[in-house]
């Protein structure tokens, strides 16, 4: 059984900018996979290579075993990509747009699937509306529908919920989760890390064109279990000076303090008692994916 996606030593340079520097990993069929990284990490360049919009300087990318350059027709039929940009033809209605998209893949009598997509993405009442008349959020829904119209086994979502309302996010994820349960491979890039934490099983993190972390979500979170934060409300004065280097944030009388280990909690509380401060409220937070992401980026930058 082939991998759903395979990247092998992908390199890409734009002038003096090295966008991708030997990226190599695979995504298995049926995975819900997150591709994370700051702006400029190379995520969109990698997706553009997968979709045949950008040619790598070296290396090889495959979709369902088909090389995206030498077998581009087969590779393109097996992947649906939702781009960041809102690209649409202003002269067609939503339904016409999806019919034309079906035609690009040689699909006829695709109306039942188009109707199902429209229903699941909340576009039924906009089916005969011209694309120009849609709001930004509705246009984003049509971009998702276009990527799904040929029923690809691999679906790539590049920042699909950027700038859209909560209702669309919920509608989209309910639909995408059902597709994943039916065996579709989903690849997500997002800056909403809580989405990746809830939805994805495995995660790759990119920085400056390189993969700096690649593991299951559970393993990434467990590696940082020893790093916790203490949220505490104090009365009677400011945080003791000895704890300032542990301070993450402050808001009025509430402090967030970094704990390098659970044992450090006792020392923090002792410092507060010695300073004569009263604890009004406190709680411990376990690390989430956002904290893991920030820690991973900082560690990479420090080593670099």
- What CATH number does the domain containing 249 carry? 3.30.70.1150
pLDDT at residue number 166: 83
Q: How many domains does the chain have?
A: 2
Task: Tell which phi-psi region holds residue 149, choosing left (phi > 0), alpha (psi between -120 and 50) or beta.
Answer: alpha
Enumerate residue ranges in the chain where pLDDT < 50.
Answer: none
Helix/strand/coil percentages in the chain, nearest 5: 40, 30, 30
pLDDT for res 168: 78
What's the CATH code of the domain at 33?
3.40.50.300
Final residue in a domain of this structure, among 222, 247, 264: 222
Q: Any idea which residue has 């080593």 for tokens?
A: 303
* Same-domain status, 256 and 124: no
* pLDDT tens digits along 117-146: 999 998 999 999 999 999 888 898 999 999
Residue 293 lies in a domain: no
Say if residue 106 is in the same domain as residue 208: yes
The pLDDT of residue 130 is 94
Q: CB–CB of 137/164 below 8 Å?
A: yes
Residue pair 234/272 in contact (Cβ under 8 Å)? The answer is yes
CB–CB of 55/10 below 8 Å?
Answer: no
**295 located within any domain:** no
Q: 135 and 251 share a domain?
A: no
What pTM did the predictor assign? 0.82
Q: Domain range for residue 10? A: 5-222
Given the structure tokens 């809102």, which residue do they identify?
86
Q: Report the percentage of the chain scoring pLDDT > 90.
A: 59
């Amino acid at each position: 059984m082939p991998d759903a996606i395979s990247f092998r030593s992908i390199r890409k340079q734009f002038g003096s900018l090295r966008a991708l520097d030997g990226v190599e990993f695979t995504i298995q069929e049926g995975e819900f996979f997150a591709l994370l990284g700051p702006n400029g990490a190379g995520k969109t360049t990698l997706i553009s290579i997968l979709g045949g919009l950008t040619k790598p300087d070296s290396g090889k990318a495959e979709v369902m075993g088909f090389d995206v350059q030498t077998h581009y027709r087969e590779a393109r039929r097996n992947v649906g990509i939702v781009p960041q940009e809102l690209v649409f033809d202003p002269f067609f209605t939503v339904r016409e747009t999806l019919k034309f998209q079906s035609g690009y893949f040689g699909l006829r009598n695709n109306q039942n699937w188009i109707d199902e997509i429209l229903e699941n993405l909340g576009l039924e009442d906009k089916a005969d509306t011209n694309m120009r008349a849609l709001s930004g959020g509705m246009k984003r829904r049509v971009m998702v529908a276009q990527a799904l119209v040929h029923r690809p086994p691999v679906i790539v979502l590049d920042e699909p919920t950027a700038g859209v309302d909560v209702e669309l996010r919920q509608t989209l994820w309910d639909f995408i989760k059902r597709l994943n349960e039916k065996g579709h491979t989903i690849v997500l890039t997002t800056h909403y890390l809580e989405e990746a934490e809830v939805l994805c099983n495995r995660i790759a993190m990119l920085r400056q064109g390189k993969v700096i972390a690649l593991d299951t979500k559970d393993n990434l979170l467990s590696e940082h279990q020893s790093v916790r934060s203490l949220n505490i409300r104090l009365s009677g004065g400011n945080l003791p000076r000895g704890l300032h280097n542990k301070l993450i944030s402050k808001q009025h009388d509430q402090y967030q303090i970094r704990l390098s280990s659970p044992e450090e909690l006792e020392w923090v509380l002792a410092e507060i008692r010695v300073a004569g401060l009263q604890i009004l409220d406190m709680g411990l937070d376990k690390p989430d994916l956002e904290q893991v992401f920030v820690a991973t980026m900082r560690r990479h930058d420090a080593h670099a």
